[in-house]
Amino acid sequence: MTPLHDVIINKKTTINPIWIMRQAGRYLPEFREIRKNNPNFIELCLNHKLSSEITLQPIKRFDLDAAIIFSDILMIPYGLKQKVEFKKNFGPMLGNLNITEMSKIDEIDFVERIYPVYKAIKSVSLKMELKNKNTIGFVGAPWTLLVYMINQQSPKKNIKKNFFEDDYLINRILLIIERFLKIHIKNQVENGANVIQIFDSWAGLLEERDYPNYIYTPTLNLVNYVKSLEIPVICFPREIKNYKEFCEIVKPDALNIDYNVDPLMISKNIKIPVQGGLDPKILLTDKDNLKKQVLKYLDIFKDHPYVFNLGHGILPETDPKMVECLIKTVRDY
Q: How many CB atoms lie within 10 A of CB 269?
A: 13
Residue 143 in contact with residue 155, Cβ under 8 Å? no
As a whole number of angstroms, the distance between CA 239 and CA 259 comes to 9
pLDDT tens-digit map of 282-323: 999 999 999 999 999 999 999 999 999 999 999 999 999 999
Looking at the structure of the chain, the number of domains it has is 1
Residue 253 in contact with residue 272, Cβ under 8 Å? yes
CATH number, domain containing residue 81: 3.20.20.210
As a whole number of angstroms, the distance between CA 117 and CA 72 comes to 10
Please state at what angle helix 167-190 crosses helix 107-130, rounded to 10 degrees. 40
H/E stretch holding 195 reads strand 195-200
- The domain in which residue 306 lies consists of 3-332
For residue 322, the Cα-to-chain-centroid distance in whole angstroms is 22
Instruction: For residue 161, name the pLDDT band (cuts at 50, 70, 90).
Output: confident
pLDDT at position 219 is 98
Residue 70 in contact with residue 57, Cβ under 8 Å? no
What predicted TM-score, i.e. pTM, was given to this entire model?
0.97
pLDDT tens-digit map of 203-235: 999 999 999 999 999 999 999 999 999 999 999
As a whole number of angstroms, the distance between CA 288 and CA 164 comes to 47
